[in-house]
């Protein structure tokens, strides 16, 4: 019996589609690259239901003749390369010839295309790997492709797709990777007939600014450097625009988007000391390099690229950014021509200058200074045990006597530590003696758990209480952030935020009562970060955002006294999840006696 068999064409196409078509965004990427390679000057993308129901891409490029249109659905059919050497001098986006074959194997595809020289075009319907219709039609020059019911014939793959909002977010990323690299092409993106982007033909700075939204150009500064090996140019966000999320970070080589943690480190280190920790600058950086010096065929999605001169490019990129930061006065610098005299405040400039007076105590004798150890002065320490007169036991006891702590409550975050009735507070930690050793509690995480348990029970019934702000706060948002916020605005309001969106500004008029004023903006940033790419139902997302809210509230909370701390401890141990915070961090740890004993061996 023959064991090895040749796979049927439709099955091999579906297997190949697993590499090329991972989600609707993969389809958008492949079709946009084909439109760019066809020389399109205008591309329109229409998405329905996050790409599940429809992905429509229309361009005014060169189009295809009927024979080419039929052949383009075959595997390994491409016009981009013909010999092996072409792989090392690629100037096009696509080249493997698997995109349309893979897409057609897992969807229902309608293709309409016409070249400039033809009077009529051709329509081909390709469903689940087979041509079901072919006819001559009247259509505009260029190509129009509609991909319907993606993964309709592979239910398991379709079930793995995320929510429409998340899938569209990935589509938007794929769209921007192409649109940013080609400002000479006009792009339109619509979602469920709603306009998202309408990018006109422009230059690079205008294209980046249009993507960011109103006032985007004011947030950018340029970089530029040219060598025999590589040319680097592009735009970076100013230090004050650094965000806690990694969005808006784009590398392009020969206008092809790619990812590189190595080059990202060069950018991040160039901003060292200029942006807060755990924040990331935005960048749109383009490398122009000889195609023979790079390999773009090391990853199925072509987002990882190998460079021959990687170390040199890293160093050049780092120095180019540092130079631009200094050139545009975006980093601290030394001015050697500045006046060296003290710059006194205006209120002190007209006051007379008094000479300092030195006062000397004529009776002071350093050799008669007594050391305060314990509650008395110990002569044992003065003579260091070498006196001819033996010291009595009381003097040595005074040396090692423990000072009793002062009475009364001591606040948690002062320069000194507090001692409670049954616990000791050191920094943000609480130490409680137990039978097996010493229990350590992170009071901030304990407060998170208490606030979460109290708030989530109230949240189910009605919105959290709102604390109106005396002066509303404003936060300018980027286009992507505004769409995410509008999508989940009701959840924000249920959590106790009173917000309003005006143009590209978020107006905050009220916040949850638990939130401290100095932590409002940090809380908004954290919640926006958690909403990005989160595939959650509204109820689950609310729980996720609630965890972010209580974490921020606990971080900025100031404990009044030890009685409040004791109350938090009591509430913590009444919780079912007293060991873990809502953000899955440990609250309690116990140092057993054996472990403590080992510390002193």
Tell me if the domain spanning 205-327 has CATH number 3.30.230.10.
Answer: yes
In contact, 580 and 588? CB cutoff 8 Å = no
Structure tokens at 270: 């160039």
The rounded radius of gyration (Å) of the Cα atoms in the chain is 34
pLDDT of residue 367: 64
**b/e code 193-226 from CB counts within 10 Å (16+ = b):** eeebbebeeeebbebbbbbbbeebeebbbebeee
24, 149 Cβ separation under 8 angstroms: no
For residues 109 and 102, what is the distance between their CA atoms, to the nearest angstrom?
11
Element (H, E) at 589: strand 588-592
Instruction: Give me the residue spans of the domains in the chain.
Output: 9-201, 205-327, 443-572
pLDDT at 9: 61
CA 105 to chain CA mean position, Å: 35
Distance in angstroms (rounded) separating the CA atoms of residues 543 and 562: 30
For residue 5, give both structure tokens.
């068999």
Residues forming a β-bridge with 437: 434, 592
The predicted-structure confidence for 444-462, as pLDDT tens digits, reads as follows 999 999 999 999 888 877 8
Q: Is 404 exposed, middle or buried (0-12, 13-18, 19+ CB in 10 A)?
A: exposed
Quote the pLDDT of residue 586: 93
Q: What size, in residues, is the chain?
A: 601
Give one DSSP letter per residue of 59-83, joined into a string.
E-S----HHHHHHTTSTT--SS-SS
Q: How far is CA 379 from CA 112, 373, 374, 388, 414, in A?
A: 103, 10, 12, 12, 35
Residue 113: strand pairing partners: 122, 143
Identify the three-state secondary structure at position 338: coil
Instruction: Give me the phi and psi of 168, to 5 degrees please.
Output: -70, -35
Q: Per the structure block, which two tokens stand in for 83?
A: 């010999």
- pLDDT computed for residue 399 by the predictor: 43
Model pLDDT, residue 172 = 92
Q: What is the pLDDT of residue 421?
A: 52
- SS3 percent helix, strand, coil of the chain, rounded to 5, is 35, 25, 40
**CB neighbours of residue 408 within 10 Å:** 9
Q: What are phi and psi of 206, to 5 degrees?
A: -65, -40
Kindly state the tokens that stand for 485: 């916020």
Both tokens of 437, joined, read 């050793």
3-state secondary structure 437-506: EEEEEEHHHHHHHHHHHHHHHHHHHCCCCEEEEEEEEEEECCHHHHHHHHHCHHHHHHCCCEEEEECCEE
Count of alpha carbons within 13 Å of 37, Cβ hemisphere only?
19
Using DSSP, state whether 262 is helix, strand or coil. helix
- Please, are residues 274 and 240 in contact by the beta-carbon 8 Å criterion? no
Burial category of 309 from C-beta neighbours within 10 Å (exposed 0-12, middle 13-18, buried 19 and up): middle
The CA distance from 248 to 246, in Å, is 7
How far from chain centre, in Å, is Cα 156? 30
CATH fold of 9-201 reads: Heat Shock Protein 90 (3.30.565)
Residues 6+ apart with CB under 8 A from 211: 176, 179, 180, 197, 199, 479
According to the model, what pLDDT value does residue 408 have?
Answer: 44
Instruction: Say how far residue 376 (Cα) sits from the centre of its chain.
Output: 59
Kindly give the pairing relationship between strand 498-502 and strand 466-476: unpaired
Strands, sheet with 588-592, edge to edge from the N-terminal-most edge strand: 418-419, 424-426, 429-434, 437-442, 588-592
What's the token pair of residue 294? 């790079």
**Sole residue written with tokens 């990202």:** 264
Instruction: Check if the beta carbon of residue 505 is closer than 8 Å to that of residue 481.
Output: no
- Residues in the chain with pLDDT values less than 50: 81-84, 86, 95-96, 338, 340-342, 346, 371-387, 396, 398-420
Closest CA to 486 of 469, 504, 460, 511: 504
Distance CA 52, CA 165 (A): 11
Q: Do domains 9-201 and 205-327 have the same CATH topology?
A: no
Task: Please check whether residue 44 is in contact with residue 143, taking contact to mean a CB–CB distance below 8 angstroms.
Answer: no
Q: What is the pLDDT of residue 366?
A: 64
Please answer whether residues 451 and 553 qualify as being in contact, where contact means their C-beta atoms are separated by less than 8 angstroms: yes
Give the domain 443-572 fold.
Ribosomal Protein S8; Chain: A, domain 1 (3.30.1370)
Please list the residues that pair with 434 across neighbouring strands: 437
């Amino acid at each position: 019996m023959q064991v090895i068999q040749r796979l049927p064409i439709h099955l091999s196409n579906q297997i190949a589609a697993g590499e090329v078509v991972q989600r609707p965004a993969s389809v958008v990427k492949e079709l946009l690259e084909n439109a760019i390679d066809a020389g399109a000057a205008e591309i329109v993308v229409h998405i329905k239901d996050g790409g599940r129901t429809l992905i429509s891409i229309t361009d005014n490029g060169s189009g295809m003749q009927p024979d080419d249109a039929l052949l383009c659905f075959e595997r390994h059919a491409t016009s981009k390369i013909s010999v092996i050497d072409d792989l090392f001098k690629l100037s096009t986006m696509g080249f493997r010839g698997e995109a349309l074959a893979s897409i057609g194997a897992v969807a229902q595809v309608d293709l309409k295309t016409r070249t400039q020289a033809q009077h009529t075009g051709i329509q081909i319907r390709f469903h689940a790997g087979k041509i079901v219709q072919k006819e001559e039609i009247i259509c505009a020059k260029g190509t129009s492709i509609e991909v319907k019911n993606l993964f309709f014939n592979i239910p398991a793959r379709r079930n793995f797709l995320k929510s429409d909002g998340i899938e569209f977010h990935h589509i938007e990323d794929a769209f921007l990777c192409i649109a940013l690299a080609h400002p000479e092409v006009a792009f339109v993106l619509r979602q469920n007939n709603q306009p998202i982007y309408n990018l006109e033909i422009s230059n690079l700075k205008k294209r980046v600014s249009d993507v960011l939204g109103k006032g985007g150009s004011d947030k950018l500064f340029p970089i530029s450097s040219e060598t025999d090996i590589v040319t680097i140019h592009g735009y970076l966000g100013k230090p004050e625009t650094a965000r806690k999320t990694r969005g808006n970070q784009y590398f392009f080589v020969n206008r092809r988007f790619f990812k590189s943690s190595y080059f990202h480190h060069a950018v991040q280190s160039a901003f060292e000391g200029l942006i807060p920790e755990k924040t990331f600058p935005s960048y749109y950086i383009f490398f122009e390099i000889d195609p023979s010096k790079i390999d773009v065929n090391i990853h199925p999605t072509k987002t990882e690229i190998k460079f021959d001169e990687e170390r040199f490019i890293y160093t050049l990129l780092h120095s180019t950014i540092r130079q631009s930061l200094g050139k545009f006065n975006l980093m601290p610098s030394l001015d050697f021509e500045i006046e060296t005299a003290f710059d006194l405040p205006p209120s002190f400039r007209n006051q007379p200058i008094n000479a300092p007076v030195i006062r000397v105590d004529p009776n002071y004798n350093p050799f008669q200074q007594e050391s305060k150890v314990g509650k008395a002065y110990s002569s044992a320490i003065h003579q260091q045990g070498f006196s001819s007169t033996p010291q009595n036991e009381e003097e040595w006891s005074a040396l090692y006597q423990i000072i009793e702590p002062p009475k009364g409550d001591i606040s948690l975050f002062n320069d000194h530590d507090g001692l409670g009735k049954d616990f000791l507070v050191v920094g943000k930690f609480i130490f409680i003696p137990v039978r097996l050793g010493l229990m350590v509690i992170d009071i901030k995480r304990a407060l998170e758990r208490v606030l979460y348990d109290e708030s989530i029970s109230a949240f189910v019934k009605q919105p959290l209480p709102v604390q109106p702000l005396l002066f509303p706060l404003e936060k300018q948002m980027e286009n992507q952030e505004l769409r995410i916020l509008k999508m989940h605005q009701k959840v924000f309001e249920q959590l106790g935020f009173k917000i309003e969106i005006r143009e590209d500004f978020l107006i905050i008029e009220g916040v949850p009562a638990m939130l401290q004023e100095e932590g409002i903006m940090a809380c908004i940033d954290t919640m926006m970060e958690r909403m990005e790419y989160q595939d959650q139902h509204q109820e689950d997302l609310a729980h996720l955002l609630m965890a972010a809210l209580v974490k921020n509230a606990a971080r900025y909370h100031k404990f009044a006294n030890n009685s409040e701390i004791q109350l938090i401890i009591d509430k913590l141990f009444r919780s079912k999840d007293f060991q873990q915070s809502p953000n899955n961090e440990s609250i309690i740890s116990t140092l057993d006696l054996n472990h403590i004993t080992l510390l002193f061996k």
